[in-house]
Amino acid sequence: MSLISEKVLKEVTFYLGPAAERFLERQTKSHMNGLAFNDLERKHLKDLAYWLNVSGGLVIGKEKAAEMAAKIERFV
């Protein structure tokens, strides 16, 4: 797992608990041209943050999802 993937997983786990890794894998694979979450790089974070906001809003609510996405986007 890349260092960026580890940092993202740690942050998203705060919001999604044990479902975080599977959620992230689905977001990168489905919305980011089949990218494996473990291969995440800094250049992918802006797109990932967008999808975390959109998809996360369905799971944890729009406010929490926006907060989570903003934290990920700051990693850029």
pLDDT tens track for 19-75: 999 999 999 999 999 999 999 999 999 999 999 999 999 999 999 999 999 999 998
Domain residue limits at 30: 3-73
CA distance 50 to 3: 20
pTM score of the predicted model? 0.92
**Going by C-beta distance under 8 Å and a sequence separation of 6 or more, which residues neighbour residue 70?**
49
Predicted local confidence at residue 32, as pLDDT = 97
Give me the number of domains the chain comprises. Answer: 1
Predicted local confidence at residue 75, as pLDDT = 86
